[in-house]
Amino acid sequence: MSAAASRPWVRILAPIVLGLLVLALWQGAVVALKIQPFVLPGPIAIGTQFGLRAPFVLNAALITALNALIGLVIGTVGAAIAAAVAASLRVLDELSAPIVTAASVIPIVSLAPALYTMFGADAQTARVLIAALAAFVPVYFNTLRGLRMAAPIHRDLMRSYAASSGQALRAVTLPGAVPYFFTGVRIASSLAVISALIAEDFGGPIKGLGTAITTAVSSSNYPLAWAFVLGAIITGLVFYGATLVLETAATWHRVSA
């Protein structure tokens, strides 16, 4: 065991020190090079705006987070069901794979205005659907891969025990697919936040972090715009951390074993 592994506090302290160093260098560069705020404001200015406008940042973050969360749940559930069906029917997998791949490269900049036209510019539906689509793809592919990762020797063993298909599914297939599923969910959590945020820049209700960033930039309040960007980063980290906690809770027995 390495010295760093034997001291958990090192793994916690090292990123914090590195982060503070980066912020110090960033602030020093802004001051020394006299970088204008419209190019890049300093961390102090951004932090000041974040503190002064914390309620507004929090309100915008909650709106974006709610859209991303609903989209993440819809996309994850839909992807898990679709992957289970595709894993059972190979022909369906072969037919759907090109469609899912094509869906993964649909540009949000063109999809968002179309969905706003379909569902109305005063509803959050378009943002939720975009987040759901972004979440669907990684969960689908990772879950499908996990469902097919059961080793032939394990399947043969279950058949030798005269286990039913349902018993084999519960004992071998699903436990092996769980880590892959949660890998997809972790990827999808960040994508859902990013997609919902970007969708806010192309219409819809005047709410959310994306709209707030655009409004602050149009008002030439660049430190405030970056404060909302900081809010978006925190939102994404919260989503990622929450999915990581869920994964740890669901797979703790595998680690302990």
Whether the CB-CB separation of 136 and 103 falls below 8 Å is answered with yes
Nearest to 77 by CA among 128, 124, 136: 136
Between the alpha carbon of residue 134 and those of residues 49, 75, 115, 123, 143, the distances in Å are 31, 8, 14, 19, 15
**In degrees rounded to 5, what are phi and psi of residue 205?**
-60, 150
- Per-residue pLDDT tens digits for 102-139: 888 888 878 888 888 888 878 889 999 999 999 999 99
Q: Which CATH number fits domain 45-256: 3.20.20.140, 3.40.5.50, 1.10.3720.10, 3.30.830.10?
A: 1.10.3720.10
For residue 164, what pLDDT band results from cuts at 50, 70 and 90?
A: very low
Between the alpha carbon of residue 227 and those of residues 1, 84, 116, 210, 220, the distances in Å are 41, 42, 27, 12, 13
DSSP 89: -
Interatomic CA distance for residues 139 and 145, integer angstroms: 10
Task: Identify the pLDDT of residue 86.
Answer: 85
Q: What percentage of the chain carries pLDDT values higher than 90?
A: 47
Task: Identify the pLDDT of residue 14.
Answer: 85
Between the alpha carbon of residue 30 and those of residues 26, 93, 225, the distances in Å are 6, 53, 17
For residue 159, what pLDDT band results from cuts at 50, 70 and 90?
A: low
Domain ranges of the chain: 45-256
Q: What is the H or E stretch that residue 1 is in? A: none
196-220 average pLDDT score:
88
The amino acid occupying position 133 is L
- Per-residue pLDDT tens digits for 73-105: 999 999 999 988 888 777 777 788 888 888 888
Nearest to 41 by CA among 55, 51, 31: 31
pTM of the model: 0.84
